[in-house]
Chain A
């Protein structure tokens, strides 16, 4: 996977995970163009599209678009499963996740993603293990008391 973007129906970015080195300018350009392209798709259209030399796999869950860019030899259908698995993880963690959860807890969204994918590849196929890892990290964070936030 080259990158994953989460954005709202208004085109606001909620998460961006880049697995390839690109300049800030390029990232912004790609994000803008891709968001536009995906938002222009009609609801009945298929989840795959060709964009530049990449394959884009996207799926909409409620008000959020989950969009992945994969390479030519990657399997589109399994990428759909990757997206779905991520959504399930978020759902389990937040308890019936909605866009607001991801907005206000964006770091957590990143942490969860980082327990599921690493370097653009799937690292753990057990939902249980991923959630356990997050739990442990959260615990570790709490063990070291943080002062009250100003």
Chain B
């Protein structure tokens, strides 16, 4: 005997009574079997009860597609109770993706044209919820007819159904545009609301419609005015605000109509001002209307005073105790920060306070807005605030905050030192969250700020000594220590506290970084190279460094191994070149702000940054040149000659093929010591002249401690790179070469003064002279 099926209420009870998922499934499966049977050959009068049960089961997530046909049958039934459930079922089970979907078209059509009002309502509801494009095309004329129906109940539904139809089939706009004029004269709020929604939809899709409806701006203004001022019936008002739903919809339409249109904007100006000032915002309904008003004011061509009023309203919203209102204020201000920057700036303090919001979605908005408000006058204060925020902010905002601070610092840094400090602080606080190019940017920045080298290396050293876990910080610190380790030992720097650091301590720290499991492979690379550079910067013996380097020669990490092996080779076979190769790096030209690559391979055979010239020598040289100053340089130790045997050294920078070869010039000769200058003008850089000074010794006695200095006139820039050596053996075949880079942007005639000092034949010699007969091609 078949168990009798349950009433809906009982079914629900039983399902809820089920203690386990399995039990629930069992109940439902049993019942579904009944339902299926009933659909097949059960009493048609009970069909709607069966479907209701099925719909409940469907909501719990169980399959119910076998009820689709029942929906069709129920919709077609003459009984209202059948139709009610049938249409509900159709909306839940028969959306446009279902094959059976179109089958309801006929029923809907019949119900629209012949049904009583509640039935028409059901049909319209279903049509506007799930009606496919095809169905909409079929039934458009029916709906159009209903727009003229006497019953306002049906008309209001017909209007909104038209909205849906236009969304599905934009061409239907042609049918539904003409009735709007009449509909706008309705007094029924529901119809008005629907009509405004319809007009909005039409205007959004067609510029012609937009133009057409602009004529109605005065009428809309009037409707809104009535809502706002007249004592509105309590039937439609919420907390003393007259039909806020309708007000908001009208405001939205006005926004669309007034955009980029002076005349319309002007027509609504006064009303907007009125709504903005008079709406009671003690409850959410009023705030909703005010909010929409603000959005409209900002989007149309409103008077400047009105715009400021709108921004101020948003500012007031920021202080509201309701966090929802603060949220929309922050979102809107963010949208306005570009177009109305100064107006939004006025609320900066409040925005910054919102950073303290416990709600993450609010503090995120506050962060975005704060970052957008940073400018050159408030950068110091803002960065302070943002850094305090960085310390306490939720983890998912860290990356954005850190990047934001760095970006702002880059754009508005008042001084280089502040910039370096800021980046340092960010790296210390949130190092793991910064973008990859932060390291490159910082090294670039420090490299370029010569006067801050000592300061930077000290700060970084202290930071590193405290914490070797923040990778970007460790990388920059390692690089810095490697480059400027000598400055670190010097003891005093006027900008930081005196720091006594021993060579051993520095080496130990770098070794710690190298060995730490916290260090990424890239970081290790930095540390190893830094150690290597220190072998030339530090005066102590290099055994410790040599040991480390040789250990890493068998490291499993390929990159480290390669470096170690090469550095090892530097110690052994190419020791005479080591100092030159590991010199200070020049400033790299950044191709773009987003350049991701490292600023050159560290220490691999580039050339030195100009170091401070020894004061006395500079003056001596300068005295001899008419237009004083210029670029007299004291060369730092050894530099490589291009393309030598240590693997991957890059070619000397800036050597594209020259234009026409300029003849060499012998500038000095004395007792077998000869100095020759060769010139090169790289194409692509017209202001640049590369001079290679070559010294040779054909005498029987060694030349030692050979130093060549140069000076040029003021308008020139001179960069003297380190010579390849300072010794010329007797009858030696190996010359000393030295590269001079001369920049002559003004194309002034080149003048060059040289000063040579050396020991030869047991005597110390000093020669100063101006180079004559410089070929014109060197500067023209």
- Contact residues of A with B, CB < 8 Å? 12-19, 21-23, 28, 44-50, 73, 75-78, 80-82, 84-85, 103-104, 106-107, 110-111, 114, 118-119, 121-129, 133, 136-137, 140-141, 143-144, 146-147, 149-150
The reply to whether A125 and B160 form a contact with Cβ atoms under 8 Å apart is no
How distant is B351 from chain A, measured CB to nearest CB, in Å? Answer: 16
The reply to whether B244 and A114 form a contact with Cβ atoms under 8 Å apart is no
Chain A residue nearest to B46 (CB atoms) is: A150
* Distance of A45 Cα from B292 Cα, bound (Å): 23
* Distance of A76 Cα from B7 Cα, bound (Å): 41
Most B CB atoms within 10 A — which of A45, A47, A114, A127?
A: A114
The reply to whether A149 and B81 form a contact with Cβ atoms under 8 Å apart is no
Chain B residue nearest to A110 (CB atoms) is: B88
Q: For chain B residues 28-81, which have a beta carbon within 8 Å of chain A?
A: 43, 45-46, 48-49, 52, 55-56, 59-61, 79-81
The reply to whether B7 and A150 form a contact with Cβ atoms under 8 Å apart is yes
* Distance of A137 Cα from B361 Cα, bound (Å): 43
* Distance of A104 Cα from B160 Cα, bound (Å): 30
List residues of chain A with CB within 8 A of the CB of B156. Answer: 123-124
A81-B288, A107-B85 given; A127·B235 CB < 8 A: yes
The reply to whether A19 and B80 form a contact with Cβ atoms under 8 Å apart is no
The reply to whether A28 and B164 form a contact with Cβ atoms under 8 Å apart is no
- Does B12 sit at the interface, judged by CB under 8 A? yes
- Does B161 sit at the interface, judged by CB under 8 A? yes
CB < 8 Å A-B pair total: 171
Q: Which 5 A-B pairs have the closest CB atoms?
A: A77-B288, A119-B128, A119-B164, A78-B288, A118-B160
List residues of chain A with CB within 8 A of the CB of B45. Answer: 146-147
Given contact pairs A118-B125, A121-B193, A133-B118, a sample of 4 additional A-B residue pairs in the complex whose CB atoms are under 8 Å apart? A78-B288, A125-B245, A140-B116, A150-B7
Q: Residue B84 contacts which of A22, A111, A121 (CB distance < 8 angstroms)? A: A111
- Does B95 sit at the interface, judged by CB under 8 A? yes
How distant is B688 from chain A, measured CB to nearest CB, in Å? Answer: 53
* Distance of A110 Cα from B122 Cα, bound (Å): 12
The reply to whether B362 and A122 form a contact with Cβ atoms under 8 Å apart is no
* Distance of A110 Cα from B88 Cα, bound (Å): 8
The 8 A CB mask of B3-21 against A (1 = contact, 0 = none) is 0110111001000100000
Chain A residue nearest to B288 (CB atoms) is: A77
Chain A residue nearest to B126 (CB atoms) is: A114
How distant is B24 from chain A, measured CB to nearest CB, in Å? Answer: 11
- Does B547 sit at the interface, judged by CB under 8 A? no
* Distance of A44 Cα from B326 Cα, bound (Å): 13
Q: Residue A123 contacts which of B190, B323, B360 (CB distance < 8 angstroms)? A: B190
Chain B residue nearest to A132 (CB atoms) is: B153
* Distance of A103 Cα from B16 Cα, bound (Å): 10
A107-B85, A124-B190, A140-B80 given; A77·B160 CB < 8 A: no
The reply to whether B95 and A21 form a contact with Cβ atoms under 8 Å apart is yes
How distant is B758 from chain A, measured CB to nearest CB, in Å? Answer: 73
- Does B206 sit at the interface, judged by CB under 8 A? no
The reply to whether B194 and A121 form a contact with Cβ atoms under 8 Å apart is yes
- Does B393 sit at the interface, judged by CB under 8 A? no
How distant is A97 from chain B, measured CB to nearest CB, in Å? Answer: 16
A13-B60, A77-B287, A149-B46 given; A144·B81 CB < 8 A: yes
- Does B358 sit at the interface, judged by CB under 8 A? yes
List residues of chain A with CB within 8 A of the CB of B706. Answer: none
* Distance of A33 Cα from B152 Cα, bound (Å): 40
How distant is A47 from chain B, measured CB to nearest CB, in Å? Answer: 5
Q: Residue A46 contacts which of B130, B292, B361 (CB distance < 8 angstroms)? A: B361
The reply to whether A18 and B60 form a contact with Cβ atoms under 8 Å apart is no
How distant is A63 from chain B, measured CB to nearest CB, in Å? Answer: 14
A110-B88, A121-B194, A144-B81 given; A47·B324 CB < 8 A: yes
List residues of chain B with CB within 8 A of the CB of A144. Answer: 79-81
The reply to whether A81 and B84 form a contact with Cβ atoms under 8 Å apart is no
Chain B residue nearest to A79 (CB atoms) is: B288
Chain B residue nearest to A147 (CB atoms) is: B45
- Does B260 sit at the interface, judged by CB under 8 A? no
List residues of chain B with CB within 8 A of the CB of A21. Answer: 95-97, 130, 132
Chain B residue nearest to A130 (CB atoms) is: B190
A123-B157, A136-B118 given; A149·B7 CB < 8 A: yes
Most A CB atoms within 10 A — which of B125, B292, B323?
A: B125
List residues of chain B with CB within 8 A of the CB of A137. Answer: 80, 84, 118, 121
- Does B426 sit at the interface, judged by CB under 8 A? no
The reply to whether A140 and B118 form a contact with Cβ atoms under 8 Å apart is yes
Chain B residue nearest to A26 (CB atoms) is: B97
- Does B217 sit at the interface, judged by CB under 8 A? no
Residue contacts A-B, CB under 8 angstroms, 8 given: A21-B130, A46-B326, A76-B327, A78-B289, A111-B88, A118-B160, A129-B235, A141-B81
The reply to whether A119 and B160 form a contact with Cβ atoms under 8 Å apart is yes
- Does B722 sit at the interface, judged by CB under 8 A? no
* Distance of A137 Cα from B84 Cα, bound (Å): 9
Q: Residue B5 contacts which of A107, A133, A150 (CB distance < 8 angstroms)? A: A150
- Does B284 sit at the interface, judged by CB under 8 A? yes
- Does B455 sit at the interface, judged by CB under 8 A? no
Chain A residue nearest to B235 (CB atoms) is: A126
List residues of chain B with CB within 8 A of the CB of A114. Answer: 125
List residues of chain A with CB within 8 A of the CB of B116. Answer: 140
- Does B359 sit at the interface, judged by CB under 8 A? yes
* Distance of A107 Cα from B56 Cα, bound (Å): 9
The reply to whether A149 and B8 form a contact with Cβ atoms under 8 Å apart is yes
The reply to whether B163 and A125 form a contact with Cβ atoms under 8 Å apart is no
The reply to whether B9 and A77 form a contact with Cβ atoms under 8 Å apart is no
Chain B residue nearest to A137 (CB atoms) is: B118
The reply to whether A76 and B190 form a contact with Cβ atoms under 8 Å apart is no
The reply to whether B327 and A46 form a contact with Cβ atoms under 8 Å apart is yes
* Distance of A29 Cα from B92 Cα, bound (Å): 16
How distant is A123 from chain B, measured CB to nearest CB, in Å? Answer: 5
- Does B464 sit at the interface, judged by CB under 8 A? no
* Distance of A77 Cα from B331 Cα, bound (Å): 13
How distant is A18 from chain B, measured CB to nearest CB, in Å? Answer: 7
List residues of chain A with CB within 8 A of the CB of B235. Answer: 126-129
The reply to whether A77 and B60 form a contact with Cβ atoms under 8 Å apart is no
* Distance of A104 Cα from B13 Cα, bound (Å): 9
- Does B325 sit at the interface, judged by CB under 8 A? yes
* Distance of A78 Cα from B46 Cα, bound (Å): 41
How distant is B34 from chain A, measured CB to nearest CB, in Å? Answer: 10
The reply to whether B96 and A77 form a contact with Cβ atoms under 8 Å apart is no
Most B CB atoms within 10 A — which of A46, A84, A119, A143?
A: A119
- Does B197 sit at the interface, judged by CB under 8 A? yes
Q: Residue A75 contacts which of B125, B288, B326 (CB distance < 8 angstroms)? A: B288
* Distance of A10 Cα from B7 Cα, bound (Å): 26
A19-B129, A150-B4 given; A46·B46 CB < 8 A: no
* Distance of A84 Cα from B289 Cα, bound (Å): 16
How distant is B334 from chain A, measured CB to nearest CB, in Å? Answer: 12
The reply to whether B88 and A80 form a contact with Cβ atoms under 8 Å apart is no
- Does B621 sit at the interface, judged by CB under 8 A? no
- Does B457 sit at the interface, judged by CB under 8 A? no
The 8 A CB mask of B293-333 against A (1 = contact, 0 = none) is 00100000000000000000000000000011111100000
